[in-house]
Structure 1
Amino acid sequence: MNTDESMKDKTIKGMVWSFLDTVGSKAIQLMMQIFLARLLLPHDYGIIGIVTIFLMLSQVLTDSGFANALIREKEVDQKDYSTVFLYNMAVAVTLYLILFLSSSQISRFFELPQLENVLKVYGLIIIVEAAGMVQKVILTKNLEFSIQMKINLTASVVSGSIAITCAVLGFGVWSLVVKMLLFQFFQTTFYIYFNRWKPTFLFNKASFNKLFTFGWKLLVSNVITVLYENIYVLIIGRSFSTASLGYYTNSRKISDAASFPIALSVEKVSYPVLSRYQDDDHRLKEGFRKVIRASVFIAFPVMLGLAAAAPVLFRLLLGEQWIPATSYFQILCFSSLFISLHMINLNILNVKGRSDLFLKVNLFEKSIGFAIVAGVVGFNLGIFGLLWGLVLSYFFTYFINASYSKRLIGYSILEQINDIKGIACVSALMAISAYSMNYVSFGNDWILLLSQMTVGIAVYILLSYLFRIDELKLVYQLMAPIPRKIFQKKPA
């Protein structure tokens, strides 16, 4: 087997395992989320939504773009890894202390006394996650996604089960704190156990400068992204009820649980693989086209299908107290259509080593996003105005990102639209078929949901076959070996 065939085989296996990892762990987390949502109140999720702002910002500052810098580097040694590890830990401890000392002021700002203690405990995740950042990078760089899948699934099941027990016993919002803290603890512990990499406590300035030259632009860009993504939480948390923030937070978690596994699995596998061909634009473009079509083939029907089935899903799975969140979720599903396209196009900037463009693009995109938010607030369009503004923002973001793919590898916006238009049309027809069933009297919500799923899947597969969408065959080829791999007997 030649080098290209070996890399292709490893890439396909990596993508399958990565997809199983992200889908499996997200599916388990989603099930846990559903159980917890039935036991807890929207108010509890509103508190966690506020805490998450500070956690996400701390995570970005701790990473500082070093993870992508390490993955992109062709030659990385012990001093590089150790330098990044020491930096991660130093920043994480510093940020936790700042969060701990400012927790009372934050709780007063949001007028939530309970928030102070939650911040102090929840913030420990920053330190625990930092301890496993380099371990995760090493596994990713080596395309060891099967190990990551096992780690994430185990951590999700154990932490989720304990959290549900806490919720049943009446611990309220602390059940969610326990869930996230234990998940991160188990994940980091297993990373260290399976990877067996040990840092040397020597900080190398040359390694730091080399990696930070690439990473600092990603750092600034990611900080801006986190602030922008969470401005909705700040506005809703400050201007509306905590329950309204809970509706938004939980709806966002569920929509992200559906959209991000696809985008992240594709990004996680394609980045280290495409980085190997960063100097061959022709091969890069051809691989990139296949990645986009494959991700859209899965992402579009999933998100549109969920939007179509949202009314019955929320009634059945979350309960009556969450019905007001249905409209939130449907709008967020539309915004999620552009997430895969957005992330994959940004990936090309990193593959080509253009973190400078990554920063410029992000600044431009977020300035548009902030302008949209300002317009919504200025005209007092309310929460739904904010949500539709998010859809509009992602729409503009995609076109901006795609313009740079044309510049770097010759893959234009028109080519991308031409490549995905058939899939988009088939997905829309499928969603219309499923949504129309909401107006048919089935007498039972479970029968309605099962009917929507059956009709949606059947219509999508049939139309994909009739319109000769190649990705139908590709997905079959990728997924067919999985049952055999799972159930095959190991030789004695």
Structure 2
Amino acid sequence: MVKGESLKKKTVNGVMWSAIDRFSTQGIQFVFSILIARLLMPSDYGVIAMLGIFLSVSQAFIDSGFSTALVQKVNRTETDFSTVFYFNIVVAIFFYILLWFAAPFIASFYNIPMLEDVTRVVSLMLVFSSLSGIQSAKLSIAINFKTRAKISVISAVSTGCLGLYLAYNGYGAWALVLQMVFSSLLGTILLWYFVRWIPKLIFSWQSFRQLFSFGSKLLASGLLDTIYNNIYTLVIGKVYSSFALGLYSRASGFAQYPSSNITGVLQGVTFPVLCSIQNDEQRLADAYKRFIRMSAFIIFPLMVGLAAVADPFIRVVLTDKWEGAIYLLQIVCFSMMWYPIHAINLNLLQVKGRSDYFLKLEVIKKIQGVCILCITVPFSIVAMCYGSVVTSLLSLVWNTYYTNRLIGYGFFSQIKDLSHILIHSLVMGGIVLFTISLVEITWAKLIAGILVGGIYYIWGAYLMRFDELKEVLSIIKRK
């Protein structure tokens, strides 16, 4: 078990390198995605988004919760690793064959003929990624995000250049397809190079059953989450158009950049760290509360700020042809700002080995979400986005129910701890909106909004003596 300063040091190092991994990689990908989006049309992105649900469901079955089970298990063995490795490959090949034969029906469902060939090519990602699942899990177990950062940066630069070249030369949606497949292949090659692990010629049913008893519940909950998260793209692509889906996917993608990536940093590091102190109730509760406040301190202002500058941001970054995504982005930001709080609450259930609680929550939340979706679909995509905000807030109530049972930190306690951050962020958003209304030039609106918002938030947090700011500064000072 990691103790005292050793745990703190390991956590800080993990967060630092995970942050470098996420934000150097995402920064590079963000730049390339902007350049590519300026060359392509929203409908090109819509075509790729239509396949999201099929690829995501397949990937969920391939992993089947085994990666998380391996990280959570204390006395894992080489037999465990080899068993999961072979399982992943067999399931990946099965789903690739399934999607190959399903491709004509997918194209017919959306009434887009090119989807038949696109499905068969992009599904190669499933096979490539299945070959490196164990290597990725080993990096997480070791909290070795430095190596992951190297892999991610190399892959992001290489695949970004390829995607930009193809988009510039008129490949359209195929530029995105080939970029995705090459990214998966290169990532697998690099993981094998940096993580020198070779599977043994062994498959243990005992190991499989033991890991699957934990992972199966995560698989079920993961499938529910995956299907629900992609059902918006499925419905929009079918009911509306690939152009409308392209606008929605780009707005959703921008909203997810800060929210999902910072959450990924915190979740990827906090899970193995919290697992190491899972039997020390007081330390676990204290660490968990600190992670919740820190994530909100970082995420809330970013999401509110992005919503405030959405208009000049979209016009400057993607040009006016993407202006239909502006209002969608503003709404989705208020849904995604709660994402890290959801994730860390659910993280605690996995740390405590309560994947049964995890599954129950997912079933309840997805039924609730589908009901709200069915109500909003007939109106418009905007109504669907507002529905996602309502769903996110209601889900927070459900997610904190078991957290309260496990460590006595429920919904009202969390809202109370986060209220000062939320209010400060909303005030910042209002100031940014007022500031950009005074500026006429579009690019100047964006710069002014970012500068004023950032300065106000940090200076205000300093004057009001936010503990979260002190902790961030202390981490920066130590590093």
**TM-score, scaled relative to structure 2:** 0.98
Distance in 2 (CA, whole Å) between partners of 1:441 and 1:298 is 27
The residue aligned with 1:464 is 461
Q: 1:343-377 CA distances to partner (integer Å, 9 max, x unpaired)? A: 00000110000001100010011110011112223
Distance in 2 (CA, whole Å) between partners of 1:265 and 1:160 is 22
Q: Where in structure 2 are the equivalents of 1:91-110 lying within 5 Å?
A: 91-110=91-110
1:227 and 2:224 equivalent?
Answer: no
Distance in 2 (CA, whole Å) between partners of 1:480 and 1:440 is 37
Distance in 2 (CA, whole Å) between partners of 1:120 and 1:92 is 13
1:276 CA displacement = 1.3
Contact 2:436 2:446 in 1 (8 A): no
1:477 CA displacement = 2.3
Q: Where in structure 2 are the equivalents of 1:439-454 lying within 5 Å?
A: 439-442=437-440, 444-454=441-451
Secondary structure at the aligned position of 2:414 is classed as helix
1:35 CA displacement = 0.7
Contact 1:16 1:479 in 2 (8 A): no
- The alignment covers a number of residue pairs equal to 478
The residue aligned with 1:313 is 313
Contact 1:422 1:467 in 2 (8 A): no
1:300 CA displacement = 0.4
The residue aligned with 1:392 is 390
The residue aligned with 2:140 is 140
Distance in 2 (CA, whole Å) between partners of 1:29 and 1:143 is 23
Q: 1:447-470 CA distances to partner (integer Å, 9 max, x unpaired)? A: 221111111111001110122111
The residue aligned with 2:422 is 424
1:480 CA displacement = 4.2
Distance in 1 (CA, whole Å) between partners of 2:233 and 2:443 is 33
Distance in 1 (CA, whole Å) between partners of 2:465 and 2:412 is 20
The residue aligned with 1:86 is 86
2:416 partner amino acid = N
CA RMSD of aligned residues (A): 1.1
1:455 and 2:449 equivalent?
Answer: no
Which shows bigger deviation, 174-183 or 432-441?
A: 432-441
1:477 aligned residue (471, 474, 478): 474
Distance in 1 (CA, whole Å) between partners of 2:334 and 2:201 is 47
The residue aligned with 2:266 is 266
Contact 1:69 1:215 in 2 (8 A): yes
1:279 CA displacement = 1.6
Q: List gaps (5 residues or longer) in structure 1.
A: 483-492
1:481 CA displacement = 5.3
1:134 partner amino acid = I
1:399 partner amino acid = V
Distance in 2 (CA, whole Å) between partners of 1:298 and 1:183 is 29
1:395 partner amino acid = L
Q: List gaps (5 residues or longer) in structure 2.
A: none
2:31 partner amino acid = M
The residue aligned with 2:198 is 198
Secondary structure at the aligned position of 1:230 is classed as helix
Q: 1:376-414 CA distances to partner (integer Å, 9 max, x unpaired)? A: 23xx22111111111111111111111111101111222
Distance in 2 (CA, whole Å) between partners of 1:114 and 1:479 is 50
Distance in 1 (CA, whole Å) between partners of 2:24 and 2:395 is 29
Distance in 1 (CA, whole Å) between partners of 2:429 and 2:43 is 32
Distance in 1 (CA, whole Å) between partners of 2:324 and 2:5 is 51
Which shows bigger deviation, 380-389 or 124-133?
A: 380-389
Q: Where in structure 2 are the equivalents of 1:27-426 lying within 5 Å?
A: 27-377=27-377, 380-426=378-424
Distance in 2 (CA, whole Å) between partners of 1:360 and 1:123 is 31
Q: 1:390-441 CA distances to partner (integer Å, 9 max, x unpaired)? A: 1111111111111111101111222211111111111111111111123113
Distance in 2 (CA, whole Å) between partners of 1:284 and 1:426 is 28
The residue aligned with 1:490 is none
Secondary structure at the aligned position of 1:222 is classed as helix
Contact 2:228 2:366 in 1 (8 A): yes
Contact 1:23 1:261 in 2 (8 A): yes
Q: 1:117-167 CA distances to partner (integer Å, 9 max, x unpaired)? A: 000000000011111111000010000001101111110111011110010
Distance in 1 (CA, whole Å) between partners of 2:190 and 2:340 is 29
2:392 partner amino acid = Y
Distance in 2 (CA, whole Å) between partners of 1:478 and 1:119 is 45
1:201 CA displacement = 2.5
Contact 1:430 1:459 in 2 (8 A): yes
Distance in 2 (CA, whole Å) between partners of 1:410 and 1:279 is 16
Distance in 1 (CA, whole Å) between partners of 2:330 and 2:129 is 32
1:215 partner amino acid = G
1:16 partner amino acid = M
Sequence identity (%)? 36
Distance in 2 (CA, whole Å) between partners of 1:3 and 1:335 is 37
